[in-house]
Every structure is written in C-alpha cells, then in structure tokens.
Amino acid sequence: MKRPRHSELENVDLLGIAPIRLAAWEETEGRVTITRPRPTAGGLHGLAELLSFWMSVRRIRLDEVGSFCWKLLDGRRTVGEVAVALRERFGEAVEPAEERAGQFVRVLRYQDMLAYPGWDEVPPGS
C-alpha cells in the first residue's frame, strides 16, 4: 500500500481521524489476535516487503488495552474518542491516553493493519 510521506501528516490532528481496520482479526477470551495482511507492492520494493513478511510474526495477540482499542477502531470512532473511552475504562493506567492511542494507531498503520481515510487507499468493502 502506498503511504504519504510522514511530513504530509505532521500538521494533521490525528485525534480527529477515524482509522479503518484492514487486517483480519479474531477475538478469543476478550483478547484480539490480528493477522498481518500480505504485502501487495510490486517490483523490488514488493519483493523486500514479501521477504520481511515471511520472516516476521504474522499473528499479533494484543493485550487488554490494545484489544479494547482495536475493537473501537471501526472507521466511525476517531482516535480522540478512543482515547476518551480508554480513560473511562482503564483510568490512570493508560495516561496519557491520547498519546497512547495515537502511538497505537501509528504503529498499526505503519504495519498496514489500519488506514486513514482520505490519506490512504482503502480497499472496497473495508
């Protein structure tokens, strides 16, 4: 998936974005396990991504906080709304909630598990 340069997102209020989940996932006993999507890029860059994909972990089991966040990131709720929900559910254990939610979203987007509508290409049906 082609990503905009980070500099284009520097002045964007991440708390106002409602990310869309791209990765397959399942929930077992309250914990979410995400399956990393297979890279789709072509050429030499795509080959490098594919080799990295084969050599890395494909399934990621989230902790309680990550699972809670993931279930809320449905394309309707913004990162800011997720941060508020985190604070209500977990209290001071997740402070600063906005930074924690923002970092969680940035990492998952970098791994092609989330997309920012309006910034990233979103596959039909996502």
Identify whether the C-beta of residue 24 lies closer than 8 Å to the C-beta of residue 32: no
Point out which residues pair with 28 in neighbouring strands: 31
- Tell me what pLDDT residue 5 has: 45
Express each pLDDT in 76-94 by its tens digit: 999 999 999 999 999 999 9
Question: Looking at 6-15, 23-32, 96-105, which range is the least confident one?
Answer: 6-15
For the chain, where are the alpha helices, taking DSSP H only? Answer: 6-9, 43-55, 64-72, 79-90, 97-110
pTM, full prediction: 0.77
- Tell me what pLDDT residue 112 has: 83
Domain extents in the chain: 21-115
Express each pLDDT in 26-43 by its tens digit: 999 999 999 887 666 667
Rounded Cα distance between 105 and 47, Å, is 26
If you write DSSP's letter for every residue of 93-106 in order, what string do you get? GG-SHHHHHHHHHH
